[in-house]
Amino acid sequence: MTEKEKCAQGLLYNANYDPELIQERMECKDLCLEYNQLKNTDTDNRNRLIKKIIPNSKNNICIEPSFWCDYGYNIRLGENFYANHNLVILDCAEVSFGDNAFIGPNCSFYTAGHPLDAKQRNEGLEYARPIRVGHNVWFGGNVVVLPGITIGNNAVIGAGSVVTKDVPDNAVAVGNPCRIVKMIEP
Given the DSSP bridges, would you call strands 125-128 and 13-14 parallel, antiparallel or unpaired? antiparallel
Catalytic annotation present for 114: yes
Contacts 24+ apart (CB under 8 A), 169-178: 169/134
b (16+ CB within 10 A) / e for 108-131: bbbbbbeeeeeeeeeeebbbbbbb
Total residues found in the chain within this entry? 186
Measured CA angle at 40 (ends 38, 44), to 5 deg: 75
Catalytically annotated residue among 85, 114, 129, 135: 114
Residue 133: closest CA among 150, 108, 147 = 150
For residues 148 and 129, give the distance between their C-alpha atoms in angstroms, rounded to a whole number.
Answer: 5
Which residues are catalytically annotated?
114
